[in-house]
Amino acid sequence: MSRNNLGSTTVAQIAIVVHDIEQACKRWAEILGVPVPNVIITQPGDEVNMTYRGQPSNAQAKLAFFNLGQVQLELIEPIGEPSTWKEALDKNGESVHHIAFWVEDMQASVDFLKQHGIPMIQRGDMGEGQYAYFDAEEKLGVQIELLERVRKARAQG
């Protein structure tokens, strides 16, 4: 399937990688004036068919979400490696990791980004859906994450 766009223009979330998610949650909650969110731990990579740069990875992450109206703020603390989260934290310190968009056809979006020189670097299942990260730092200054609610097929880079 070929199309001439990403598949979405609605930002779902902005994510920041952090060294200590509990401390980061407290800092953000204080500044935003909202309750500290729960922290969850992702399933091991081998349980969600995670790949990083085309190879299986068993990395995990601690995640926390602040629902801020139309955009969600996600905090990510990497656990283990290799992962895009750990790579970004090591390279840039605590910083914006990605901007995420919901899409209806993950593979079409993967193909579109690939045509524009933006390769997929990590993907995994999430329930019935899937996520994928794309190395858009050189072109756009930040990684892109695509989220698909119902997985039609596992995205191939």
Whether 3 shows a pLDDT value over 90: the answer reads: no
pLDDT of residue 1: 42
pLDDT of residue 150: 94
* Cα–Cα distances in angstroms (integers) from residue 118 to residues 13, 47, 64, 133, 143, in the given order: 19, 26, 27, 10, 9
Q: Whole-prediction pTM value?
A: 0.94
- The larger pLDDT score, comparing residue 4 to residue 100, is at 100
Whether 2 shows a pLDDT value over 80: the answer reads: no
Neighbouring residues of 157: CB distance < 8 A, sequence distance ≥ 6:
54, 110, 114, 119, 120, 121, 123
d(CA 119, CA 95): 21
pLDDT of residue 157: 86
DSSP letters, 58-119, are --EEEEEEEEETTEEEEEEEEESSS-HHHHHHHHHSSEEEEEEEE-S-HHHHHHHHHHTT--
- Structure confidence by residue, pLDDT tens digits, 30-88: 999 999 999 999 999 999 999 999 999 999 999 999 999 989 999 999 999 999 999 99
d(CA 22, CA 88): 19
> Superfamily assignment of 11-148 in CATH?
2,3-Dihydroxybiphenyl 1,2-Dioxygenase, domain 1 (3.10.180.10)
Average pLDDT, integer, range 95-113: 96
Whether 4 shows a pLDDT value over 80: the answer reads: no
Whether 103 shows a pLDDT value over 90: the answer reads: yes
Average pLDDT, integer, range 104-125: 96
Whether 92 shows a pLDDT value over 90: the answer reads: yes
| Residue ranges per structural domain of the chain | 11-148
Token representation of residue 9: 């223009």
Contact yes or no for 89/2 (Cβ under 8 A): no
- Structure confidence by residue, pLDDT tens digits, 134-155: 999 999 999 999 999 999 999 9
Average pLDDT, integer, range 105-118: 95
